[in-house]
Amino acid sequence: MVQPVRKAVFPVAGLGTRFLPATKVMPKEMLPVVDKPLIQYAIEEARDAGIEDFILVTGRGKNLMEDHFDHAYELEAILMDRGRAGDLDTVQDLAPGSGQLSYTRQRRPLGLGHAVWCARQFILGEPFAVISPDDLVLSTPGCLVQMIEAYNEVGGNVVAVEDVPREQTNRYGILDVESDDGRLAKAKGLIEKPDPAEAPSTLSIIGRYILQPEVFDHLDKHETGAGGEIQLTDAMAKTIGNIPFHGFRFSGKRFDCGTKAGFVTANVAYAMERDDLSDEIRESIKAFL
């Protein structure tokens, strides 16, 4: 019987410089895909997976996210007066309950491993999930729901993975695979952003993790890796041999919303999934092409 995953960490301290000038004052995670910001998709995915405590690791200029998940009393009063019950439910139901959403500050951008380390005092010895809002996964059920099902089978550390072109391995954490049944790949090692010629596989980690608290034993050392940053991949790799480690091939389509092309594509894909938008979007795309 594995210990249940009740907590999730959301590293959202990045500056989002690829999206300037839009992100000059607005957090990248508040950029909307159709009509919801990226961070809300991430929160909803976690909530659907049974997560009870949500920890956002923020940075300077991220206050809009806190406001987004708070009550907007004037807006709610106007919607109520105008009889717009559906819209009122939408803005009232988007946030976790009182006491479930916490914020901590990453004061310096020292890497993903450091961002996760900043949330250590909220974890308290439990397994936890890490979700990057930049990686948006269109799937039913959600990616984290699928991962928790796999985690309940094998325990240990579980990361979402997908195969990438070999020439792109230097952008990702890559698994050194011991065995692979097509769904779960057991790893004997991990390498952060290896040169394509040296990559042990093309199986890359995307922004979904289920981790045991022992990873903090290594993050506590603040050892730097690729790019001079504290890499989460390096800390995970050091747990292999003591804790089972599996890469999970999820069902769904991942969009890298940290890039402009991925973000635009995600907007189109999510709009096409909407009954109220799909026909109009399809015709607009046809006319444009």
Query: Model's pTM, two decimal places?
Result: 0.93
Give the integer Cα–Cα distance in Å for 27 and 62: 6
Which of 98, 49, 80, 62 lies closest to 210 in space, CA to CA?
Answer: 49
255: left (phi over 0), alpha (psi -120 to 50) or beta: beta
What pLDDT, on a 0 to 100 scale, did the predictor assign at position 192?
86
Give the integer Cα–Cα distance in Å for 201 and 199: 5
What pLDDT, on a 0 to 100 scale, did the predictor assign at position 48?
95
CB-CB contact of 262 with 255 (8 Å): yes
- Tens of pLDDT, residues 189-245: 998 889 999 999 999 999 999 999 999 999 999 888 877 888 898 999 999 989 999
Average confidence (pLDDT) per 10 residues, the chain, 289 residues:
94 90 92 96 96 94 88 89 90 82 90 94 95 96 97 96 93 91 93 90 95 95 84 92 95 95 96 94 91
Name the CATH architecture for the domain at 7-288. Alpha-Beta Complex (3.90)
Tokens (6 digits) for 147? 């991962």
Helix (H, G, I), strand (E, B) or coil at 289: coil
Give the integer Cα–Cα distance in Å for 21 and 27: 11
The per-type count for the chain, helices as H runs and strands as E runs, is: 11, 13
E strands of the chain, at which residues?
A: 7-11, 32-33, 36-37, 53-58, 101-105, 128-131, 135-138, 157-163, 173-180, 184-192, 203-211, 245-249, 253-256
What pLDDT, on a 0 to 100 scale, did the predictor assign at position 37?
96
Helix (H, G, I), strand (E, B) or coil at 28: helix
Q: Supply the DSSP string of 71-120, one letter for each residue.
A: --HHHHHHHHHTT-HHHHHHHHSSSPPTTTEEEEE--S---HHHHHHTTH
What pLDDT, on a 0 to 100 scale, did the predictor assign at position 72?
86
Antiparallel, parallel or unpaired: β 245-249 and 157-163: parallel
- Whole-angstrom CA distances from 213 to 9, 201, 218, 279 are 12, 27, 10, 47
CB-CB contact of 62 with 12 (8 Å): yes
Largest CA distance in the chain: 63
